[in-house]
Structure formats: structure tokens, C-alpha cells
Amino acid sequence: MSIFVDDDTRVVVQGITGGEGSFHTDQMLAYGTNVVAGAVPGKGGESVHGVPVYDTVRQAVRKEDANASVVFVPPAFAEDAIFEALDSELDLVVAITEGIPTQDMARVNRRLREVDTRLIGPNCPGIITPGETKLGILPGDIFAAGSVGLVSRSGTLTYQVVDNLTARGHGQSTAVGIGGDPIIGTTFIDTLRAFDADPETDAIVMCGEIGGEDEEEAAAVIDAAIDTPVVGFIAGRTAPPGKRMGHAGAIVSGGGTGTAASKIAALRDAGVTVPETPADVAAAVDELL
């Protein structure tokens, strides 16, 4: 099985006529993703890689029965694009765009509480169920179908860990890049609970990083409510205090939380195996399965 997406997911690409949207649409189609439409205001009637383009997401939903979207829209317009997707009552929206202003995402976050749509991202690589579908920019060739669920704040770390998992024979049920911004849609906790409810996910890998308290909060939920064994990794152990480390959310604010040490301690207290390096994650999964 899988979580959030499968081969029945019908995708509309918002921003399909742009350079990134066009390139990654081609990559998603090559992987087997059911991309049924694009949506770009003023571009209705065009076609990109054989995919029909509509002026609005709502038209794409009505004409092509789309139930998910991927957002490849510049930061200044991404808030409006996400709102349009939410108003179209899609099941899932994956926002790849990085650099969306925090105040824009605060407004999106308020709207998310009023709808049933799930948002993944922004500033994320997307989601993949290996062998079935991928929504986003993930390199499909390193993934393999299997029983290890993966959730990560970092796209690059996702690729490194997955490559090692696949090399050791541990395929993935679904891999979810939730993004590293301070305000995101789907969280570690949301994804952990979904994997725990999936009967074909036998182990979970959770890749976090310094900054914020998401990993500490996830550790508390793992301890109280997650039965599936979890391997964790925290990036940024050697980061100088107070330094920005790539992601907007990877800033340690003080108060005893948000550091690599505090996150690792919280996870280990919850019974999570936390290897020292990304290369050790696959070996830790070996011991669980």
C-alpha cells in the first residue's frame, strides 16, 4: 500500500508552461504519473508534452477529473495558486515553490483548517510512491517499491538516505518531503500517523534537522501512539549556534530545544534508533526488519 498518493492519483500541474513546470511534468510523465492537465491563467487551450492546459484548476478538475495538484509557480504568485487549488476541493496539493513569504503561508495555513485538502510543502521535493506515481522533483530512479516509509524535511538528505536504503534492498512504501520552511502543511506527526496506519509499512525513517521543535513534538507522539518502529536522523549536529543552515526553519532559537542534541535526546527517549550519519540509517533499518 501507500500513503497520500497512488496510481489512481490524477494530477494537474500549476505553472506547467514555465521552465520548471514543463521540465518536471516531462519527468513525472516518464515515471508514469497520471498528469492529466496543466493550469495557467491565460494559457487555456495550449498543450505541454501532450497535456492539455486550462486557465483554472477548477476547469481541470471538471474536465479531467483531477484530484491533486503540483505547484510550480513563482513565490510572488504561489499563495494565490495554493488558494485556487484549495478552492477547487482537491484531495492533495504539493507546493514545490521555495521562497514563499512567511506571511503568505500564514494565510494559507489558516485556510487549511477550513478545508479537507492536504497540503505538502512548500519548499519541498514532493512525494513518491515507488513504481506508481511521483508528484514533484524527486529523482525516481533511486527509489524502489517496498515497506519502509520515509518522511524528511530535507530533499537532499532524502535522496542520500533513499539511495542507501535501496542499495541495501529496503524499498519504500512512500517517501514524503514535507519541506523545511517555518510554516508547512503536512507535518512529521501527520505523516508518522499515516505510515503507522498503513499495514504494508513495516518501518519508518524520519529525517529531521536543527531548528524549530517539530522533531521533539514528533518524538512525543512516537512514544505515545506510534507502533511501527522508527529510525531517525538529525542533520546539523556540527552547525554553529545561531547560524542559518539552508532552510528557513533550520534556525536554533534557544531555550533548550531546536538543537541537534535536544532532538536526538527526545527521539532516543521515545525508543527511536538515531544513527550518527545518514549512511548508517540503512544499517539501522536492517536491524529492525
Q: Which residues are catalytic?
A: 247
Q: How far is CA 143 from CA 78, 106, 130, 223, 230, in A?
A: 28, 33, 6, 29, 19
Q: CA-CA distance, 147 to 237, in Å (whole number)?
A: 29
Q: CB under 8 Å to 218, separation ≥6 — which residues?
A: 187, 188, 189, 192, 206, 208
C-alpha triplet 84, 90, 92: angle, nearest 5°: 105
- Assigned C-alpha cell, 13: 500541474
Round the CA-based radius of gyration of the chain to a whole number and report it. 18
- Residue 139: count of CB within 10 angstroms of its CB: 16
Q: Which of 227, 219, 212, 224 lies closest to 268, judged by CA?
A: 219
